Amino acid sequence: MNAPALRAVALSAGYRRRRRPTTTVLRDVHLAARPGELIALIGPNGAGKSTLLRTLVGAQPPLAGHVLLDGHDLASLSPRQRARRLAVTLTEPVDVGQMSAEEVVALGRLPYRSWLGRAADRDRAAVDRALVDAGVEDLRNRPLTDLSDGERQRVMVARALAQEPAVLVLDEPTAFLDVARRIELAAMLTRLTATTGAAIILSTHDLGFALRRADQVWLVGDDATVTAGAPEDLAHGHAVARVFAGENMSFDDAAATVVVADHTVPGATVRVDADGRTRQWAEHAVRRAGWSPGSSAEHVLRVEDGTPCRWRAEGPVRADGVGFGSLVTHLRDQTATAALQPHGNAGAAQ
Amino acid sequence: MSGLFALLVALVAVASVVLLAQGSIAIPIGEVLRALTGQGTESDLSRTIVLDARLPKVVTGLLAGAALAVGGAQMQTLFRNPLADPFVLGVSSGAVLGAAVVILGTSGVGWLAGLGVVSQLGVTGAAVAGAAGVLLIALGIARRVGDPVVVLVVGVMLGYLAGALVDMLVYYTDPDRLQALAGFTRGSVRNVTWDELGVIAASCGVVLVLSVFLAQPLNALLLGERYAGSLGVNVRRVHFLCLASVAVLSGITTAYCGAIGFVGLAAPHLARGLLRTSDHRLVLPASALIGSIIVLVAEYVAGGNGLTATSLPLNSVTAFVGAPVILWVLLSGRAKRSAR
């Protein structure tokens, strides 16, 4: 296996402040990012994602331990040496005044140039390659201020790529993007790990994105630890559930995300009789009504494909209807009747 | 792009020659050029007027305009504020205060009194120190408060504060020394001797040339301090170098020409507008040329045309260029956008 591009060795991160006790946010963390890996850094707000990222990129010194970049201690590298190995994109919006996308990307070559130096062929080639890799070569002459959030994000990624880094760190790259742009970005990053061979580390709140796309997940917990592993291992071993599922939340394995735990009267189990996508969305509706899809002799739900779908429920109460909206209403009505709620809302309302 | 620079250089040359030719005594352009190139002139008088009376004024105007414009361009990026400029943010007032303390504070048994060059350098140094002091305060506040408009107001207040301190000093000083101070608040490129010009040219010239080295780091700073740091730029060092160069450029200019307003604000905006880029490698030299043109034209309007006997302070002319630019920047929402 390749040597890690970035390693954290016995790393403790936090804040050392004058005349106040030191705050240790993360303790004794061991991590390794290998070339070509896409790594998602996840964790609840306030657990220390930003602190870890800032320490990994050298924006703040570690309290203890080391960050090794390409085998060199980060603290021993000059800012320029570091900038040739490590590139970042930040969440803060940039306002560069009047600059084209290409000019912004060319700033990524600064670590390779003297303060007066003109762009060499090698610099121009690196900028061209970065523009192509990030899929923004069509935008190269457009002013950055004219671009959409998604396009600007990609230009900033291209600028980072122009640094030809061994490690690319993206802070919340999906934060301001809509669903389609997020998926585009994910596909691009996956492609980039292959084309550039860089290790890409990104922090995200999008749990589904992390579990579906990442080669490795770094899970920051509330207890000052970071758990690293394949997404499936962390999900299967309940590590994700432990960190994210609080009082009212539970981890839904099928959806690969955290859902609101049902603390209302639990509904019964219903056997869903449908095919393919229809079945998938019927089960979605069943869950939303507080029921669970499964095997049941008592409750059977048949759904016919169509737009909208036609459904028929068999059991103690028979009903049928068109559209999943009426199905959910029907299932909830049954729960309400069956529960004989001593503290139910139905009685209080009347 | 190079055509634009050629045009700006040509404009500077035309403005210089016109200023040399016009005045209380009009001298033909041909005679001006002969005097400049060292060929024989038709009269010794016109030679003396061109070389000894008018040339120092023109060169001072050139340097002052370039210095203020380059200082303004650096400040706008340093403060991440399109409205930053040595005059607007009170840096020039700080320089006046520094100079005033030395001029007025050395009355009577003052150790600088009568020491010619030394006292001159003392005043100059104090002006640079005053400029640096206001810059440090303004930058400290700007880094806490992101809103450019708030920083603008803070700068104006700092300017008033420095002005008030100068007024108080004036109140307690004997009238003889006030004459030396009168020029400071109004702005003028006249009354500069060749000796003084040497100091301006040496200090501002060196800083102007060295500021080319700041162009690339300033470009990186356009992305923000954290991005600049991630690109290997030593942000603290660049901040320090910019502060030092702005302090020298505006301090020296103010010490010899008084507070000339709005050139540092308007010239960089005009440069960016003409070049259609924020790249400092182009914006800094273009700002310098445009700043020179503004000051030369302002001097022409203020009294160098020889049409009227009275001469206006430069400030009241440059305000005609600067105030509309401030309004344009504010109303077009650029200030708000960069506050994000």
Q: What is the pLDDT of residues B227-276, one digit of tens each?
A: 999 999 998 899 889 988 998 998 888 888 888 888 999 999 999 988 98
Find the chain B residues whose C-beta atoms sit closer than 8 A to any C-beta of A.
Answer: 80, 212-217, 219-220, 222-224, 226-227, 229-234, 272, 276-279, 337-338, 340
What token pair was written down for A346? 């139905």
CB atoms near residue A232 (< 10 Å)? 11
- A-B Cβ pairs (cutoff 8 Å, strict): 76
Confidence band for A192, pLDDT divided at 50, 70 and 90: very high
What fold does the segment set A269-349 form as a domain? Answer: Rossmann fold (3.40.50)
Residue A57: list chain B partners with CB under 8 A: 230
At A65 the pLDDT is 94
CA nearest B77: which of B213, B274, B219, B237? B219
Least CB-CB distance to A103: which of B212, B217, B277?
A: B277
Q: Are A6-252 and A269-349 in the same CATH fold?
A: yes
**What confidence score (pLDDT) does residue B179 get?**
63
Cα–Cα distances (Å) from A262 to A148, A249, A280, A291, in that order, read 39, 8, 20, 10
Segment among A28-37, A339-348, B20-29 with least mean pLDDT: A339-348
Q: How far apart are the first and last CA of chain B?
A: 31
Alpha helix (H) residue ranges in chain A: 49-56, 79-83, 101-106, 121-133, 149-162, 179-196, 207-213, 231-236, 239-244, 276-288, 324-338, 345-349
Kindly determine whether residue B224 and residue A90, on different chains, have CB atoms separated by under 8 Å: yes
pLDDT greater at residue B125 or residue B309: B125
* Phi, psi at B9, each rounded to 5°: -60, -45
Residue of B234, B278, B337 lying closest to A98 (CB–CB): B278
Query: Is there a contact between B104 and B170 (Cβ–Cβ < 8 Å)?
Result: yes
Write down the number of H helices and E strands in chain B. 16, 0
Cross-chain Cβ contact A87/B230 below 8 Å: yes
Say what the pLDDT of residue A202 is: 94
Pairing of strands A249-252, A226-229: unpaired
Query: Taking 70 as the threshold, does the pLDDT of residue B209 lie above it?
Result: yes
Which chain B residues are closer than 8 Å to A99 by Cβ? Answer: 222, 277-279
Interface test mutation site (partner A, options B1, B79, B213, B223, max chain A beta carbons within 10 A): B223
Q: Is the pLDDT of residue A217 over 90?
A: yes
- The set of residues, in sequence order, having a beta carbon less than 8 Å from that of A103 and lying 6+ positions away, is B277, B279
Taking an 8 Å cut-off on Cβ atoms, the answer to whether B213 and A93 are in contact is: no
Q: How far is CA B227 from the centre of its chain?
A: 30
CA neighbours within 13 Å on the CB side: how many for B176? 5
| Predicted local confidence at residue B183, as pLDDT | 56
At which residue do the structure tokens 């062929």 appear?
A: A121
Distance from CA of B177 to the nearest CA of A (A): 46
Number of other residues whose CB lies within 10 A of the CB of residue B183: 16
Please state the ipTM of this predicted complex: 0.81
Distance from CA of A37 to the nearest CA of B (A): 21
Task: Give the distance from residue B276's alpha carbon to the nearest chain A alpha carbon, in angstroms.
Answer: 6
* Residue A96 with chain B: CB contacts under 8 Å: 222-223, 278
The residue ranking higher by pLDDT, B105 or A278, is A278
Least Cα separation, residue B102 to chain A (angstroms): 38
**Phi (first) and psi of residue A57, to 5 degrees:** -95, 0
Is residue B170 pLDDT above 90, yes or no? no
pLDDT (tens digit per residue) in B88-142: 888 888 888 888 887 776 654 344 444 455 666 777 888 888 888 888 888 888 7
Out of A209-213, A230-234, A238-242, A340-344, pick the least confident. A340-344
Of chain A, the end-to-end C-alpha distance in Å amounts to: 69
Interval A339-344 mean pLDDT: 46
Q: Looking at residues B33-44, what average pLDDT do you find? A: 80
B contacts of A104 (beta carbons < 8 Å): 223
d(CA B139, CA B78) in angstroms, rounded, equals 8
Mean pLDDT of A170-176: 87
Q: In this complex, do B220 and A110 lie within 8 Å of one another by their Cβ atoms? A: yes
- The residue of chain A with its CA nearest to that of B281 is A116
Say if A82 is an interface residue toward chain B (CB within 8 Å): yes
Q: Does A118 touch chain B if contact means CB atoms closer than 8 Å? A: no
What pLDDT sits at residue B339? 41
- Greater confidence (A57 vs B146) lies with A57
Which of A57, A59, A79 comes nearest B234 by C-beta?
A79
CATH number of the structural domain spanning residue B106: 1.10.3470.10
Q: Which residue range is the domain that position B105 belongs to? A: 2-339
What Cα–Cα distance (Å) separates residue A149 from each residue in A133, B223, B260? 18, 15, 41
Residue A221 has pLDDT above 70, yes or no: yes
- Domain A6-252: CATH superfamily is P-loop containing nucleotide triphosphate hydrolases (3.40.50.300)
Count of structural domains, chain B: 1
Q: Does A85 touch chain B (CB under 8 A)?
A: no
Q: Which of A96, A25, A38, A342 lies closest to A216 in space, CA to CA?
A: A38
Determine whether the interchain pair B213/A116 forms a contact, defined as Cβ–Cβ distance below 8 Å.
Answer: yes
Domain residues of chain A, as ranges?
Answer: 6-252, 269-349
Asked if A106 reaches chain B (Cβ–Cβ under 8 Å), the answer is no
CA distance to partner chain A, nearest, from residue B278 (Å): 5
Distance CA A88, CA B230 (A): 7
- Mean pLDDT for A254-271 is 69
Tell me which residue of B57, B12, B19, B79 sits closest to B285, measured CA to CA. B12
Tell me whether residues A94 and B272 touch, CB distance under 8 A: no
Question: Tokens 């400049």 identify what position?
Answer: B36
Contact flag B232-A92 (C-beta cutoff 8 Å): no
